[in-house]
Amino acid sequence: MSEAANGSLTGNGHLSGGRNGRSGERPGENLLETRNLKMHFPIKAGVLRRTVGHVKAVDGVDLEIRKGETLGLVGESGCGKSTFARLVLRLLEPTEGEVLFEGEDILGYDRKQMLGVRRNMQIIFQDPYASLNPRMSVGNIVAEPLKTHKVGEGPERKKRVQELLEVVGLSPEHYNRYPHEFSGGQRQRIGVARAIALNPRLIICDEPVSALDVSIQAQVVNLLEDLQKEFDLTYVFIAHDLSVVKHISDRVAVMYLGKIVEVADRKDLYNNPRHPYTASLLSAIPVPDPRKERERQRVVLTGDVPSPANPPSGCPFHTRCPRAQDYCAENTPPLEPQESENHRAACFFPVREGQRIEEAATSTPYRVE
Amino acid sequence: MAMLEVNNLKTHFKTQDGVVKAVDGVSFSLEPGEVMGIVGESGSGKSVTALSVMQLNPKPPAEYPEGEILFEGQDLLWVPEKRMQQIRGNDIAMIFQDPMTSLNPVFTVGNQIREAIRIHQDVSKTEANEMTVQVLKDVGIANPEGQAKGYPHQFSGGMRQRAMIAMALSCNPKVLIADEPTTALDVTIQAQILELMVGLQEKYGTAIVMITHDLGVVAQIADKVMVMYAGRAVERATTDDVFYDPLMPYSFSLLRSLPRLDTAGEVKLLPIKGTPPSLIFLPEGCNFHPRCPFAKDECREVDPILEEKKPGHEAACILSVEEIEASKSRVDQELGVGT
């Protein structure tokens, strides 16, 4: 990588240095942490546009992202995954809560300070057709973050952009072309080049492969993995496809109706899900293996995800949960450690190893306040 | 004779840039009660094949220079539109990917199902009403009487797809063509819809053509599979044969390029290089050779035909079965599959 990305940023000593400053990092430390993060969008109605309610898109999320890891964030559409991504980057102002980057709450930062933080936090969007300006050349698109952060100039900047294009598997000759000349997979590569241009530490990948053709997905997934190794990146990988998330993540968090319902190391979560929602989600995914499919026991959840404007009382999942008891409708389960500190689930009647999801749980909740 | 038999179907579109060979010589047959999966990426001709069977491709620009689509012995390419209207919906029904755009937003759901019933069956208004409520109940919509009065925007995605299935099944068709019916839905809802389709198929013996890019969905419900690439069928066999012993490098690459829930994280992914070819300027020789991990020099010149490689297992590849199997185990070893 060129040194061009390592220009200093005045006033933000702790953020400058880019990759060189990272050598002393210990893995396992938190790079980013959210505390009780909430985003309640007001619903306005009537002539006076009075607020009549709130869509609780993100409703109290505590999550930590460790240096160098890939945290997978999964959930069905409308569960608040993308809103969470935008809150972390402060593209949306949260209603409540804290976002700590390197231990400092960035919500209190002013514009200038925020600019410094954003240099270290980038995002790759889902739709490679909507996220690239059709009137800008590829070179200008990738150079945009360099321009904003005043990194390099003229020929130096151009050289850096061409380098970046090569890093993501495009050709430097693509510099003067326009987005419409590229296929979906190539466009996503342009998006990736833009995201890594400033040598950030954290990249939030918001469904980066969902819009791509099946044969192209693996190209982009492999590229993201290679870049992570090469540039010590930390990823938050948001997707609804649990297979892709399993492939790429170290830890996985499952979201339902704006809340994290389970978070664990990849293996624990997939082999030994505690939360009935995680377990039923995993059982719903078809595997490209006809014999396994014939033998599989599926837990088919009934009904749809409730509206986040009017979430159920108590546990948000109790309306669809095969294990729910009366207790679940009245009390909200906290996200609590299961057998290890790393495996947390928000359920009063967690699924035990080897147990079937719909098997009736004991009538005493796992945890009674 | 098979109930539905498609022979060497070609569907071409004349455009200003040239002739788009969207479907270029596809054959398959479907027996009553059978479930066939058509797999392929976007632009491979899956949907155009389905729309050709339904005779829903706009003509012009669509042309059928060759082939036949025999439904119970009559060639749908030549039946008059009046007769086609009777077959469409009544004998062969179709459900589409996006349930929002395939329902009319200004009529109630019940109204639209009733219309389908009244067009195809000689029943009174009250009878049609009762049938509407019954099909909505069949597809698992709670409170069918009340929901029949609802508008599409009041339905969730899963409910809309249920309503589409209800409409498609209202006339008890012999063939149901489902074009990516669960792609727009969440996995938990997808599981509901697939379970519903399998249940109805068992109950009514409807033959299903399931078009999808999701190999897992095919593994779950199909008896046999046709893999399409650039407008052609490149592999045809039973579901087990295609998944456990793919004989066309494209099917093999597709299976190895996707992370699967059971092995993800333990095996590497095989990226398929490049992008699907333009359907106007197809590569010389085999359509897949520029992206094929097993290609040899000959592949650039010889255009393979779909031929039987093993009993009941057809693939379009000039490599011999031994060559393909050797290459497959080499790649599998590199990826760490089966270790």
Residue B202 confidence (pLDDT): 87
Q: Which of A218, A246, A285 sits opposite B272 (nearest CB)?
A: A218
A290–B239 C-beta distance less than 8 A: yes
Task: Identify the three-state secondary structure at position B207.
Answer: strand
* CB nearest to A243's CB, from B189, B261, B276: B261
**pLDDT mean across residues, chain A:** 85
Please say whether the beta carbons of B2 and B173 come within 8 A: no
Q: Which residues of chain B have pLDDT under 70?
A: 1, 339
Q: Edge to edge, what strands does the sheet with A70-74 contain?
A: A121-124, A202-206, A234-239, A70-74, A251-256, A259-265, A344-345, A336-337
B275 contact residues in A (CB cutoff 8 A): 183, 185-186, 216
What are the tens digits of pLDDT across the range A69-121?
999 999 888 888 889 999 999 999 999 999 999 888 999 899 889 988 888 99
Count of C-beta atoms within a 10 Å radius of residue A133: 12
pLDDT digits (tens, 9 = 90+) for A7-62: 333 333 333 334 444 444 455 688 999 999 999 999 888 888 888 888 899 999 99
Q: CA A247 to CA A251: how far, in whole Å? A: 11
Number of H helices, E strands in chain B: 11, 12
- The SS3 call for residue B319 is coil
Q: How far is A280 from chain B (nearest CA, A)?
A: 8
What pLDDT shows up at residue B143? 83
Residue written as tokens 């030994």? A272
Beta strands in B41-174 (DSSP E): 62-71, 74-75, 92-95
Instruction: Flag if B257 and A285 touch (Cβ within 8 Å).
Output: no
Look at residue B161 in the predicted model and tell me its pLDDT.
Answer: 84
Cα A269 from Cα A279, distance rounded (Å): 9
B145/B133 Cα distance (integer angstroms): 6
pLDDT above 60 (res A367): no
B189 interfaces chain A, CB cutoff of 8 Å: yes
For A242, nearest residue in chain B (alpha carbons): B261
For residue B26, CA distances in Å to A161, A260, B252 come to 45, 48, 20
pLDDT mean over A245-253: 94
Whole-number pLDDT of residue A301: 83
What is the reported pLDDT for B58? 86
Is the alpha carbon torsion for B187, B275, B58, B64 positive or negative? negative
Q: How far is A148 from chain B (nearest CA, A)?
A: 33
Predicted pLDDT of residue A363: 54
d(CA B120, CA B86): 7
pLDDT at B308: 92
Residues 280-339 of A with CB under 8 A from B: 280-293, 298, 300-302, 304-305
pLDDT tens across A301-349, in order? 887 788 888 889 999 999 988 888 888 899 899 998 988 888 999 999 8
Which of A266, A281, A293 is closest, CB to CB, to B265?
A266
- Packing angle, helices A214-231 and B249-257, rounded to 10: 50
